[in-house]
């Protein structure tokens, strides 16, 4: 038993070293690209990874909170990896600060003068409100994770879920939709936070399917059903904003849609996203076997995660005049972010105590205190 424990500890240490090395190498590669190649492309890649990994990591914490807020108990045995998303908070906030310093390279609204919504898109005001919102969200998430180790803080769980929706609606408006300040959609914020929860769910599913030696197939089945549900909810949110843009056909509204659907090269990306991210789970995860087979479910969750990264790239790149090319610049910074998230999860799972068990939980009357 001692030898097995030593081997397991050695494997964990090797993973930590590996993730740390990938993070350092990826960050160094991105810095070189930003300094010697296309700076605008490098900062655009940083923005894409910020709006992909931050909702994903925060959403991982939100999922156990959402289950708890709805009085569910099914996720207790697998929620520890999801709570580990809170370890990404420092990277998220530091990246947001870096985006402030590089704003001239990516902040599309700064290229326009005399905007009718100039007061809202005032750059210091925009970064101040988004930064404050992110700090509040991560503080609530950390508080929830700390409380969850000892009890079932239902009221706090509801606050975390609500804050996630509000904060990422704001971030979606300010850091994605505002890249083209002449285009607007009142549904875009809802789409942004729902797709972030979808990415978090796929990440949670991947970790449970691959990290646990013998994952509970009932829990895998639950996660698979949720992936089907959130793929449909995400495509519904996308379609709900595209439909009025199509039947109204106003130039200021269709300017965002036309490059992605009508230009031949970007149209292929849109079709691929529809097939993999939006409708893929409906076709592939309908069978009971597909949702209860760890390797299959994990592989498909990974495909969804890759597809959702492409979706964030697809949201940003055409607006800022980027080419339909993914190269070393994007690969370096994406590897750094993925390694930072994995490193944080590994450290959290090594150090955090297990969540309170069903036997140790307080009576229902005390749960909402």
- Which of 209-213, 270-274, 292-296 shows the lowest mean pLDDT across its residues? 209-213
Write the pLDDT tens digit of every residue in 191-234. 999 999 999 999 999 999 887 656 678 888 999 999 999 999 99
Across 174-185, average pLDDT: 89
| Domain-embedded: residue 216 | yes
Q: How many domains does the chain have?
A: 1
Which comes out higher in pLDDT, residue 326 or 138? Answer: 138
Mean pLDDT of all residues in 42-55:
96
Containing 125, the helix (H) or strand (E) segment is: helix 123-148
Nearest 10 degrees: Cα torsion 229, 230, 233, 234:
-150
Handedness of CA 38, 171, 234, 248 (dihedral sign): negative
What is the DSSP code (8-state) at residue 277? I
pLDDT score at 351: 81
In this prediction, residues 22-37 reach a mean pLDDT of 93
* Domain carrying residue 24: 10-367
Q: How far apart are CA 217 and CA 233, in angstroms?
A: 24
Task: Give the whole-angstrom CA distance, residue 317 versus residue 133.
Answer: 25
DSSP 138: H
Q: What percent of the chain has pLDDT over 90?
A: 55
Residue 2 above 80 pLDDT?
no
Q: How far apart are the first and last CA of the chain?
A: 42
> Do the beta carbons of residue 137 and residue 164 sit within 8 Å?
yes
pLDDT in tens, 98-116: 999 999 999 989 888 888 8
Q: Is residue 4 part of a domain?
A: no
Mean local confidence (pLDDT), 28-54: 93
CA distance 301 to 220: 11
**C-alpha separations of 118 from 110, 129, 170, 178 in Å:** 10, 15, 16, 11
C-alpha atoms less than 13 angstroms from C-alpha of 229 in its C-beta half-sphere? 8
Specify if 54 maps to a domain: yes
Rounded Cα distance between 214 and 224, Å, is: 16
Model confidence, pTM: 0.91
Asked if residue 264 is part of any domain, the answer here is yes
Q: What is the mean pLDDT of the chain?
A: 87
Q: Is residue 327 left, alpha or beta, with left meaning phi > 0 and alpha meaning psi from -120 to 50?
A: beta
Residue 75 has pLDDT above 80, yes or no: yes
**With 70 as the cut, is the pLDDT of residue 308 above it?**
yes
3-state secondary structure of 93: helix
In a domain, 353, yes or no: yes
Span 8-19, pLDDT tens digits: 556 677 888 999
Supply the pLDDT for residue 364: 46
Q: What is the mean pLDDT of residues 235-264?
A: 78
Instruction: Tell whether the model's pLDDT for residue 7 goes beyond 90.
Output: no
Position 24 in a domain: yes
25-43: string of b/e by CB count within 10 Å (b at 16+)?
A: ebbebbeebbeeebbbbbb
For residue 2, being part of any structural domain is answered with no
């Amino acid at each position: 038993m001692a030898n097995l424990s030593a081997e397991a500890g050695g494997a964990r240490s090797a993973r930590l070293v590996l993730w740390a090395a990938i993070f350092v190498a990826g960050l160094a590669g991105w810095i070189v690209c930003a300094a010697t190649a296309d700076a605008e492309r490098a900062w655009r890649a940083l923005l894409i990874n910020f709006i992909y990994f931050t909702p994903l990591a925060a959403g991982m914490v939100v999922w156990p909170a959402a289950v708890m807020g709805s009085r569910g108990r099914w996720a207790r045995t697998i929620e520890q990896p999801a709570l580990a998303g809170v370890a990404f908070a420092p990277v998220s906030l530091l990246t947001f600060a870096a985006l402030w310093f590089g704003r001239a390279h990516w902040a599309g609204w700064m290229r326009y003068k005399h905007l009718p919504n100039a007061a809202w898109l005032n750059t210091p005001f925009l970064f101040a409100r988004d930064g404050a919102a992110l700090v509040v969200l991560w503080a609530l998430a950390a508080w929830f994770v700390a409380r969850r180790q000892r009890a079932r803080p239902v009221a706090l769980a509801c606050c975390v879920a609500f804050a996630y929706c509000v904060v990422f609606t704001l971030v979606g408006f300010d850091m994605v939709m505002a890249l083209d300040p002449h285009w607007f959609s009142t549904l875009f914020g809802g789409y942004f936070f729902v797709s972030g929860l979808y990415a978090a769910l796929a990440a949670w599913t991947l970790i449970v399917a691959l990290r646990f030696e013998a994952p509970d197939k009932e829990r895998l089945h639950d996660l698979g059903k949720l992936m089907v549900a959130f793929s449909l909810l995400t495509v519904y949110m996308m379609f709900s904003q595209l439909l009025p843009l199509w039947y109204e056909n106003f130039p200021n509204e269709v300017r965002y849609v036309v490059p992605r659907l009508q230009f031949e090269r970007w149209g292929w990306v849109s079709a691929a996203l529809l097939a993999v991210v939006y409708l893929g789970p409906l076709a592939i995860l309908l069978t009971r076997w597909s949702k209860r087979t760890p390797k299959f479910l994990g592989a498909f969750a990974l495909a969804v995660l890759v597809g959702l990264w492409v979706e964030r790239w697809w949201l940003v790149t055409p607006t800022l005049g980027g080419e339909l090319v993914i190269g070393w610049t994007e690969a370096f910074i994406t590897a750094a972010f993925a390694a930072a998230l994995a490193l944080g999860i590994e450290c959290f799972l090594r150090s955090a105590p297990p969540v309170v068990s069903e036997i140790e939980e307080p009576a229902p009357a005390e749960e909402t205190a």
